[in-house]
Amino acid sequence: MTDDSDADVGDAGSDGDGADPEALADRVTDGDLRLYELDDYADAETAATARRLVVERDTGVDLSATGDYAFAAESADSNIENMVGGAQLPVGVAGPVAVRGEAADGEFYLPIATTEGALVASVNRGCSAISAAGGATARVTKRGMTRAPVFRVDGVAEGAEVAEWVEDNEDRLAEAAESTTGHGRLQSVTPYLVGDSVFLRFSYDTGDANGMNMATIATRAAAEVVEDETPASLVALSGNLCTDKKPAAINAVEGRGHTVTADVTIPREVVEERFGTTPEAIEEANTRKNLIGSAKAGSLGFNAQAANVVAGVFIATGQDEAHVVEGSNCITTVEARDDELYASVNLASLQVGTVGGGTDLATQSEMLDVIGFAGGGDPVGSNADALAEVIAAGALAGELSLVSALASRHLSSAHEELGR
């Protein structure tokens, strides 16, 4: 879409369209402008072109591939600073997979952006077995985006008073928090006291949005009320008990974002035909690997590759990719029954949105459309719920296929064949 060689020649000192990327790049090189100030002197695309020129000159690297991006630069204004282009990776589809959810009920393609050969094939195989079995049942059982500021108090007694005040005045905190958003609703505030630190874990229903910005802005307003009304002094708006983008047991236990569970019962003949192994072998591999192995490792994830599906769909659909950390909090269960296999996944903390964040970008919104849940839902929140249910079904497909491949000793040959 963009090309350094045919950029407009114009006045590098003027605002907006017509600015010359070469002249702008010269001004950066001369120390007259900072890289991030280029947007004040040119439209977003020209500014990105000028930045590429600066980086090309400084590093000697040809950035023509990075400059060949397929979205309007200005559409990424709220997503990136110092933009130089686009990072592209292949996206494939698995499915369609049949999902019997509360919000998602039908057959759904699962777009997966990845560079790992064999991943889409694996999820596709799992999807085909799930669909042959009549589909996966999926339910969102909890929603709540959290933000937990930390306050300083003078000691335990004062901290306990602050915690009590918060518990008695949740309605006042909700009023302040909700004054900042049309869609966010404060669901709870849970105080934690550690010595002279008080943590307040705020949890919000954020509708169809991931809600991390929404929750952060709302919590700032609530924190001001806490400071006005109690002796507590705000130290940090995020006190890590949220817990955002770090492995944390609190998310695995209490949930964060969407807590979603999916299960399926697959007839024995379908298992044997699609996975080339038996329900008993899959159960044994799951127990020894995903349960005992994970326990011995002290892992928070009792699964094989939930993060693969979460990451692939997140990148394809404009979710915050760092939330894959929480998205990997998944427990996979498998049970061989008389003539069938029962399998389930529980994703405790899946952060998804169909509005906001990167969901409006060109390819990302296309992929949300492919799944069928782009934009705000009716009722509010139903699109994000549906996306969570479809991802859970995809994670279940990935678990079934990979654990089967391990049970049938096909993992390394599959990757030799498809991934090298």
Ligand X SMILES: NC(=O)C1=CN([C@@H]2O[C@H](COP(=O)(O)OP(=O)(O)OC[C@H]3O[C@@H](n4cnc5c(N)ncnc54)[C@H](OP(=O)(O)O)[C@@H]3O)[C@@H](O)[C@H]2O)C=CC1
**Interface with ligand HMG, residue 414, by CB under 6 A:** yes
d(CA 216, CA 206): 11
d(CA 34, CA 42): 13
Quick check: 396 and 345 in contact, CB under 8 A?
yes
Residues 6+ apart with CB under 8 A from 42: 15, 16, 17, 19, 21, 24, 50
Q: Could you tell me the smallest distance in angstroms from the CB atom of residue 42 to ligand X?
A: 25
Residue of 8, 320, 321, 366 marked catalytic: 320
**Interface with ligand X, residue 307, by CB under 6 A:** no
Q: Which is nearer to ligand HMG, 128 or 216 (CB)?
A: 128
**Interface with ligand X, residue 214, by CB under 6 A:** yes
Q: Could you tell me the smallest distance in angstroms from the CB atom of residue 408 to ligand X?
A: 39
d(CA 153, CA 155): 6
What's the one-letter identity of residue 239? G
Quick check: 258 and 377 in contact, CB under 8 A?
no
Conformation bin of residue 69: beta by default, left when phi > 0, alpha when psi is -120 to 50: beta
Q: Could you tell me the smallest distance in angstroms from the CB atom of residue 317 to ligand HMG?
A: 20
Catalytic (active site) residue 258 = no
Taking CB within 5 to 8 Å according to partner kind, which of ligand HMG, ligand X, none is near residue 401? ligand HMG
**Interface with ligand X, residue 183, by CB under 6 A:** yes
Stretch near ligand X under the rule CB under 6 A, chosen from 63-71, 268-276, 341-349, 355-363: 355-363
d(CA 220, CA 228): 12
d(CA 35, CA 31): 10
3-state secondary structure at position 303: coil
d(CA 407, CA 405): 5
Q: What is the DSSP string of 223-236?
A: HHHHHHHSS-EEEE
Cis amide linkage into residue 267, ω under 30° from 0: no
Check residue 270 and report its DSSP letter.
H
Catalytic (active site) residue 415 = yes
Residue of 4, 26, 116, 340 marked catalytic: 116
Site for ligand X in 234-273 (CB under 6 A): 244
Phi and psi for 338 in degrees, rounded to 5?
-45, -60
Q: Could you tell me the smallest distance in angstroms from the CB atom of residue 242 to ligand X?
A: 9
Site for ligand X in 193-212 (CB under 6 A): 206-212
What's the one-letter identity of residue 363? T
Catalytic (active site) residue 320 = yes
**Interface with ligand HMG, residue 411, by CB under 6 A:** yes
**Interface with ligand X, residue 184, by CB under 6 A:** yes
Taking CB within 5 to 8 Å according to partner kind, which of ligand HMG, ligand X, none is near residue 193? none
**Interface with ligand X, residue 181, by CB under 6 A:** yes
Conformation bin of residue 142: beta by default, left when phi > 0, alpha when psi is -120 to 50: beta
**Interface with ligand X, residue 376, by CB under 6 A:** yes
Taking CB within 5 to 8 Å according to partner kind, which of ligand X, ligand HMG, none is near residue 119? ligand HMG
Q: Could you tell me the smallest distance in angstroms from the CB atom of residue 206 to ligand X?
A: 6
Taking CB within 5 to 8 Å according to partner kind, which of ligand X, ligand HMG, none is near residue 55? none
**Interface with ligand HMG, residue 305, by CB under 6 A:** yes
Q: Which is nearer to ligand HMG, 83 or 407 (CB)?
A: 407
Name which position in 101, 191, 239, 357 contacts ligand X (CB under 6 A). 357
d(CA 81, CA 321): 17
x/- mask, ligand X, residues 310-349, rule CB under 6 A, reads ----------x-----------------------------
d(CA 59, CA 80): 21
Name which position in 31, 60, 182, 195 contacts ligand X (CB under 6 A). 182
**Interface with ligand X, residue 80, by CB under 6 A:** no
Binding positions for ligand X, rule: CB under 6 A: 181-184, 206-214, 216, 244, 320, 353, 355-357, 376, 380
Q: Catalytic residues, which ones?
A: 116, 320, 415
